[in-house]
Amino acid sequence: MFKRKEPAAAPANGGLKLNYRRTALIGFAFFGILLLWQVYDSWCPTFLTDIFAHRIYGMTSAELKLSDPEKILDVQWIVGVIMACDNLAALILLPIFGRLSDKTHTPIGKRMPYILVGTLVSAVAFPFIPLFFHNKNIVGMIIAMVTVLIFMMMYRNPAVALMPDITPKPLRAKANGIINIMGYFGGAFATVLGMVFVLSKYIDATEPAARNLWVIELPFLIASALMVISALVLFKTIKENELAEQLKDEIALGEELAAVASPIDDEKPMSKANRNMLLAILAAEFLWFMSDNALGTYIGNYVIYFLSSSSKYTSTMIIVGGLASVVGFAIAGFIADKVGRKWTISSGLVITFLGLILMCFVRPLGKFEQGVELGFPVLLYVVWALKGFGMALVHNCSFPMVVELCSAKKIGRFTGFYYASSMSAQTITPVLLGYILKAAGAWRALPVYATILTVLSFAVFTAFVKNIKSGKVANVKGLEALGADD
């Protein structure tokens, strides 16, 4: 995609060029990840709300919503604790698998063994979550959730590290945009499943006989099948060891052009300037994930129990946000080339903030009358579009900024740092917000909470992160920009 302006220092092909086809194929790993997590995050908090309403109050959440809707808020802290335990395990496991994969050497590569095993076990365990829920087996359901989580962590870090393994540093923002677009196709497919198999139809049924298992089972089965297919496509098309050898000169040139405060040297401790940059990025990342995960965890319950609307609106809203995210990911790399990654991320946080301010003014249009919902506030679609676009700018550039600060030998470890920050945020925020919702007794605390954290992340990021651009490279023009295989 690029040519360096000093061709004497460039590799034999005349410059750095992003291979779009190969990058998109690597994106199949992210397709599987977001497909699973979209189903998991959209359905599991509502499963937990329903099952604990039954255990604590002896009623389904549908019956409780009709008789005493405030009590729905009382069980959200339990939902938050369980969702946070999942993320706590991820906080521990992601750095472990990152380091292990850095040190692994096999005939199929260092990342691929973890991707294949993690995918297979997760795909087998995933459909047991709704099955155990349907049978009111909370222990079995949580065991299935934990199993999926552990093996997805085995998959996730190595899968994400695969892109920077074979992409020179100056090209990683654009490559990350393509990877994320592929991931959002997976998330969009999961959202369509949510529109076809409407969760609220199952949840709002007050009679056990009216709860059809296949409404909640089929989305999980389809997600599992597509995860396996995406991993097989990745395995068939991406030959890690061959690519590492073919691209070693380009990777070396990318190191020379890196956007870092001081050069990377594996033989010496990390420089103070680079360490401070890393800590500032991770601190800001922690705060924006606190905000974003709060919305992702509770939005399904917010729509069903606060807005008294159907979960099909949640699915539509997620599609709107996903489309906005795709636009953001498509252009984020080009914006970063012009203004730098720091100001691209800062702009994304401002756009997200504007969306969350609007969300503070969202109100229900009415309550259920005889089981029929009265509508959905269109303003929430605008909120989700702004948030989707803004956070796409943030996520697209933040991961490349972290792995920019390490050599090719430590990509798995630094990917672990990135996920340690995000997962620690996602461990704390469901519990903290669950308690806040219970104490406030109002779902309106959700957008206020997310807005405050977004402002804090912007303050930390803009104050402590430097805007360092990569070494200069020139855009490839015409047909060459299509990134055909060399």
- Whole-angstrom Cα distance, residue 474 to residue 470? 12
Q: What residues contact residue 267 under an 8 Å CB cut-off, 6+ apart? A: none
pLDDT in tens, the chain (486 residues): 344 444 334 443 336 788 888 888 888 888 888 888 888 888 888 888 888 888 888 777 777 777 777 777 878 788 878 877 777 777 788 888 888 888 889 999 899 999 999 999 999 999 999 999 988 898 999 899 989 988 988 888 888 888 888 888 888 878 888 888 888 788 778 877 777 776 777 777 767 777 788 888 988 999 999 999 999 999 999 988 888 888 888 877 777 776 655 666 666 777 888 888 899 999 999 999 999 989 988 888 888 788 878 777 887 888 898 889 889 988 988 888 888 889 999 999 999 999 999 999 988 876 544 444 557 888 999 999 999 999 999 998 888 888 888 777 788 888 888 888 988 888 888 889 988 988 888 888 999 999 999 999 999 999 988 876 655 443 333 323 333 333
CB 261 within 8 A of CB 393: no
Q: What is the 3-state secondary structure (H, E, C) of 384-407?
A: HHHHHHHHHHHHHHHHHHHHCCCC
Q: Give the DSSP per-residue string, 40-65.
A: HHHHHHHHHHHHHHHHHHSS-HHHHH
Helix (H, G, I), strand (E, B) or coil at 3: strand
Q: Is the dihedral of CA 305, 307, 308, 313 positive or negative?
A: negative
- CA–CA separation, 280 vs 465, rounded Å? 6
Distance from C-alpha of 366 to C-alpha of 378, rounded to nearest angstrom: 14
